[in-house]
Structure 1
């Protein structure tokens, strides 16, 4: 319980620091990752024993996923003015290949992580990742401040 409290405080502090960063400064990826770890650990109620096995698997998965997402963005953000039918077909096929690769990565990750986390924790992981990003976005958008009415 004490560990979870410390992780929660760490998450809040990290999110606050991210939200208050100067516009001219670069995004601090280390603080982002620390906040994400604390948030996911707390929300999924990952035990210290689970964490030692989970995070290496998750980090490897996340790196692979980021790489495929970057390729997908590149493929989908090509200029479409005067695009040939052949090039359009090639890009459509590339999009489906990359989406399949993402699915394959997700399946492999789920299989591996089910050996460490409960099925409920694994099931909730994706939603909690999205919740973290929404929370971070809102904190950044609001400058780390919330209005008195809670909005």
Structure 2
């Protein structure tokens, strides 16, 4: 029954994303679609959902912060001219900073899974991983189709 309602929402949402719009609006649409997709895939009980979503949202916010604030700033500074002008010591320091951020992202992921173990059964945690991958694949496919036209 839920699938009957969810499927049109997902299809409408993916087509709305493909049609364009502002970046912030798209991000919010994608987030809403992801929430709907994960909810349907995991078949969360009301009790599970109440505990799951705050943990999930905090994890996503932290990962986004790390990706945007740190990793993106590293990559912006890494053009070929900059790399060629770096001393070995500067490059080693830069590499160390990047590794530290990647480690922070990994530790955040481990903490997230540990927190989920108190909320969801292991099977649903695995389903979450699969649902996120499936959602990202769908989104990428939709994006590619948009630019084929």
Which range is displaced more, 75-84 or 65-74?
75-84
Indicate whether 1:14 and 2:13 are aligned: yes
- Aligned with 2:38 (options 40, 53, 56): 40
Q: CA deviation at 1:68?
A: 1.1
- Residue aligned with 1:33, SS: helix
Shift in alpha-carbon separation, 1:19–1:127, aligned structure 2, 3 A? same
Q: 1:1-151 residue pairs with structure 2 within 5 A?
A: 2-21=1-20, 25-27=21-23, 28-70=26-68, 71-78=70-77, 79-143=82-146
* Count of matched residue positions in the alignment of Structure 1 and Structure 2: 141
Question: Which has more helix, going by share of residues?
Answer: 2
Q: Deviations over 1:78-110 (max 9, x none)?
A: 231311111101111111111111111111111
Residues in 1 aligned to 2:8 and 2:29: alpha-carbon distance in whole angstroms: 14
Distance 1:15 1:144 in 2: 14
Q: CA deviation at 1:19?
A: 1.7
Task: Kindly indicate whether the alpha-carbon contact (under 8 Å) linking 2:41 and 2:127 is maintained by their aligned counterparts in 1.
Answer: no
Aligned 8 A contact 2:52 2:116 in 1: yes
1:4-55: CA deviation from partner (whole Å, max 9, x where unpaired): 442333222211211222xxx3132221111010111112222233112111
Q: Distance in 1 between matches of 2:39 and 2:134?
A: 13
Residues 3 and 116 (structure 1 numbering): CA distance in 2 closer, same or farther, change over 3 Å? Answer: farther
Separation in 1, partners of 2:142, 2:57? 24
TM-score by length of 2: 0.83
Unaligned runs of 5+ in 2: none
TM-score (norm 1): 0.82
What is the rounded CA distance, in whole Å, between the counterparts of 2:84 and 2:131 in structure 1? 39
Deviation >6 Å, runs of 4+: none
Structure 1: where are the runs of 5+ without partners?
Answer: 146-151
